[in-house]
Structure 1
Amino acid sequence: MKKVFLFILLLLVVSACSVNNDEQDSSSAEENNKAAEVPEVQVEFEHEPIPINEETTIQASVTQGGEPVPDAEYVEFEIWNSEDGQDSSETFEAKHTESGVYTITHSFAKEGTYQVIAHTQVDDLHTMPQNEVAVGQQADASGHEHGDHSGKFMVHLMTDQTFKAGEASTLTTHINHMEEPFSEALVRYEISSDQMEKHMYIDAEEKEPGEYTANYTFPESGSYTINIHYEKPAEEIHAHQKENIEVVQ
């Protein structure tokens, strides 16, 4: 009789442990799913159109799973005049103010239409929404509409790491098309420098939607040009963007 009682007690203990483990697994799965959600970024301007030669506030509200994100790894605003092109862009680091809101103050010295990308990194997830904004009366009269960026690509090479000669470096690029990750594309890095006899071509692999990485060991210190080629032949898309980096000894 005692053996039967002990056997039943053992079954109850095992069953309770199993339920507890299932609950823990379920809780862990929910946390992982929440962590995997791509952060959402809403960019807002203090004025539209923005006055010329006056300090104005630009803010990005960052949420993930519907909750504010007060501890993003970084939020950076990349800004350039549409006529001058992205090669003329400047990048400004935003500061967290409250409840997932990150802001900068900026003065625009030239009238026209500007592009503003909010590069946002939360854990291992990156998003980079692009907005168009008018500055001055000339831009207001030009007929550009806020948020009209159909067909536009946003290409961002991550350069916040230290590239060292003789050590393997990871090249990471995020590509968005019409504010959505540009997935399942053919992406390769064309690497050139005065320190190299010929250009090197390195195929990139898509790790996350719209995120393409490749490893490369720079042979010498100095300035390098990274030409990012991205294409979808079936859709007749083939474009590239050049970035410059410095490699240290």
Structure 2
Amino acid sequence: MRRRVGFAFAIVLLGMMMVMAACTNHNKQADTAAVLDVKMDVPDHIDLNKPTKLACVVTYGGEKVDDASEVKFEVWKHGSSDRDMLEAKHDGNGRYSVEKTFTEAGTYSVVAHVTARDMHNMPKKDVVVGNPEQAAAADGEGEHSPGSAEEHRHAAVAISLSSRSFEAGKPAALTVHLTKDGKPLTNAIVRFEIWQAGNKHEFVDADDKGNGKYEAVATFANKGTYSVKVHVEADQLHEHQVEQVTVQ
């Protein structure tokens, strides 16, 4: 009889441990915030005068996003102030692309502007157009010009601002998600620089909420369009990204 009671007690104890383990795993998954991830699919080298596809694959929480609000590719040549903003089409399975023909050799930056799930991500990649000698010669002509390769060199940090619409005169939560090499960037120093054309710049420090999430509270006094620059410092990197937000 004692053996039966002991065996039954062991079974009950084992069941309780399994339930507790399942609850722990569920809580861990709930604490992990889903992140809008954008993987660039752009060649490292591009031939002159040849139609080339620039693409990216968009996922959210590991699942493909087929209903992104906006996907555009911004393209510019280092040393030039001219920029192209190209509307991408959806190819299916979370992939978005645009076709472009490059007619001048040099080093170019390609930024995918992706808005989905009320988040924004802007991964960037530099590419060489033409053979290396042509590109080097073209870059040398504008190496001291505004917008040169050195000025636009950035770390592989994805900065996603959660919201770009706020109400005037009310406290607004500025939330940004940071990832580096596809993983949440933690223990960073994050500041928001906020300004409206013609007005002074305001700086607000963000709190680290964990798992690559940083948040600050600011108040937009006037209606209209504001610029918000996200400054990120961690280890030996200093990254920044400018977003436009609407205040109603």
What is the TM-score with the length of structure 1 in the denominator? 0.61
Secondary structure in 1 matching 2:78 = coil
CA deviation after TM superposition for structure 1 residue 221, in Å: 0.4
Cα distance in 2 for residues equivalent to 1:140 and 1:34: 50
Kept after mapping to 2: 8 A contact 1:157/1:243: no
Unaligned residue ranges in structure 1 (runs of 5+): none
Q: 2:124 aligns with which of 113, 130, 142?
A: 130
Question: In the alignment, is residue 113 of structure 1 matched against residue 116 of structure 2?
Answer: no
1:189–1:244 Cα change, 3 Å:
same
1:58–1:105 Cα contact (<8 Å) kept: yes
C-alpha distance in 2 between matches for 1:206 and 1:127: 19
1:127-153 residue CA offsets vs partner (Å, 9 max, x unmatched): 765322234x37772159xxx999623
2:123/2:158 contact within 8 Å kept:
no
Cα distance in 2 for partners of 1:84, 1:176 equals 28
Q: Aligned partners of 1:220 and 1:70: how far apart in 2? A: 38
CA displacement 1:7-44 (0-9 Å, x = unmatched): 66863663364154145336536x82996697876533
Aligned counterparts of 2:212 and 2:232: Cα–Cα separation in 1: 11
Cα 1:142–1:126 change in 2 (3 A) is same
SS of residue in 1 equivalent to 2:46: coil
Indicate which of 29, 34, 52 corresponds to 1:32: 29
Is the aligned partner of 1:187 residue 2:190?
Answer: yes
Q: Identity of counterpart residues, as a percentage? A: 23
- 1:102 is displaced (CA, Å) by 0.9
1:164 equivalent in alignment to 2:167: yes
Q: Shift of the alpha carbon at 1:203?
A: 0.9
Which of 172, 193, 214 matches 1:212? Answer: 214
Match of 1:102 among 95, 112, 127: 95
The answer as to whether partners of 1:152 and 1:177 remain within 8 angstroms in 2 is no
Equivalent in 44, 50, 74 of residue 41 of structure 2: 44
Equivalent position SS for 1:14: helix
Q: CA distance change for structure 1 residues 91 and 12 in 2, over 3 Å: closer, same or farther?
A: farther
1:19 and 1:205, CA in 2 relative to 1: closer, same or farther beyond 3 A? closer
Mark the CA change 1:245 to 1:41 in structure 2 (over 3 Å): closer, same or farther.
Answer: closer
| Contact 2:48–2:102, Cα closer than 8 Å, also in 1 | no
RMSD: 5.1
Output the CA distance in 2 between the equivalents of 1:211 and 1:110: 41
Change in Cα spacing, 1:71 to 1:193, as seen in structure 2 (3 Å) is: closer
- Give the letter aligned to residue 90 of structure 2: K
Query: Matches of 1:86 and 1:177 in 2, distance apart?
Result: 28
Aligned equivalents of 1:222, 1:59: Cα separation in 2: 33
Unaligned runs of at least 5 residues, structure 2: 138-148
TM-score, structure 2 normalization: 0.61
